[in-house]
Amino acid sequence: MSDADYEALRTAFTASVSHELRTPLARLQALLETAELPGADLKGLLRQAQDEVVEMTELVDDVLFLSELEQGREVVALGDTEAAPVLRAVVDELTERAELAGLGLDLRIADETIHVPLRRRMLRLVVENLLENSLRYAGEGATCRITLAREHEHVLLEVADDGAGVPDVDVARLFERFFRSDRARTTRGTGLGLAIVKHVIESAGGNVEARGGRGRGLDVRCLLPV
């Protein structure tokens, strides 16, 4: 990448971060202004303001973490982790939230001995982001299947749901930073979760792809070297 290309990428990224921060900041300012009105529900407004601060904090944390990942491959790939216990732990932690959202979780582990070339923290990050994506967008009544298996010379980590899906034209863009399909724009989230998944998997020598479409759910397949 040339210096000019890098500068253009950096400028675009900075502009995107600034744009994403403006929305919760604007909502926070509106809440504070409303709090000054007579008879305002201060307790309720304070709770909403805290939610906005949490959203901004998550965005900043994700931006900093993605920047950290891009500083060097060693942040991601220097590790070897037994995958099954990590997947079970994440699924257990998110089961209650999934039940509240009306989403069923179906964990399928084909081989308990599978290891992946990732640090434990990185594997957790990938699984959490993939499940969070289904939690936010699959919709009530959907089922999310998490699969861990060997596929030829690779390890397959797949998270697939049969939910609402996204428009076909959006599937190829799901791993772009800050990209949100129409349905995702109505929910909270930093828009960086799948971008982080892609960077982690590719830094470890693997590849990731998304398949699906409107009304056909979403299937994200990660292949990692054995």
Q: What is the pLDDT of residues 28-87, one digit of tens each?
A: 889 989 999 999 999 999 998 988 887 777 777 666 666 666 665 555 556 789 999 999
Residue 187 has pLDDT above 50, yes or no: no
Cα 222 to Cα 63, 158, 198: the distances in Å are: 22, 6, 9
Q: Give me the CATH topology for the region 75-225.
A: Heat Shock Protein 90 (3.30.565)
Cα 176 to Cα 16, 29, 33, 180, 181: the distances in Å are: 11, 29, 35, 9, 11
Alpha-carbon distance of 202 to 39, in angstroms, equals 54
Helix (H) or strand (E) holding 224: strand 218-225
Classify 67 as helix, strand or coil: helix
Residue 41 per-residue DSSP state = -
Query: Mind listing the pLDDT tens digit for each residue in 6-16?
Result: 455 455 556 55
Name the CA dihedral angle for 118, 121, 127, 130, rounded to a multiple of 10 degrees: -110
Q: Strands of 207-212's sheet, edge to edge?
A: 104-109, 143-151, 154-161, 218-225, 207-212
Alpha-carbon distance of 59 to 62, in angstroms, equals 5
Tell me what pLDDT residue 185 has.
42
CATH class name, domain 3-71: mainly alpha
Task: Report the share of the chain in percent with pLDDT over 90.
Answer: 37
Tell me what pLDDT residue 11 has.
57
What are the start-end ranges of the H helices in the chain?
A: 3-35, 42-71, 74-77, 83-101, 120-137, 168-171, 193-203
Tell me what pLDDT residue 206 has.
93
Residue 96 per-residue DSSP state = H
Alpha-carbon distance of 52 to 13, in angstroms, equals 22
CA gyration radius for the chain? 19
Tell me what pLDDT residue 127 has.
94
Tell me if the pTM is above 0.85: no
What is the domain partition of the chain in residue ranges?
A: 3-71, 75-225
- Comparing 100 with 196, the larger pLDDT belongs to 100
Residue 37 per-residue DSSP state = S
Residue 188 has pLDDT above 60, yes or no: no
Closest CA to 76 of 205, 192, 177, 190: 205
Tell me what pLDDT residue 69 has.
63
Residue 163 has pLDDT above 80, yes or no: yes
pLDDT level of residue 110 (50, 70, 90 thresholds)? very high
Residue 75 identity (one-letter amino acid): V
In sign, the C-alpha dihedral spanning 146, 150, 152, 154 is positive
Tell me what pLDDT residue 144 has.
96
User: What integer best gives the mean pLDDT of the chain?
Assistant: 81
Alpha-carbon distance of 201 to 205, in angstroms, equals 7
Q: Same topology for domains 3-71 and 75-225, yes or no?
A: no
Tell me what pLDDT residue 222 has.
96
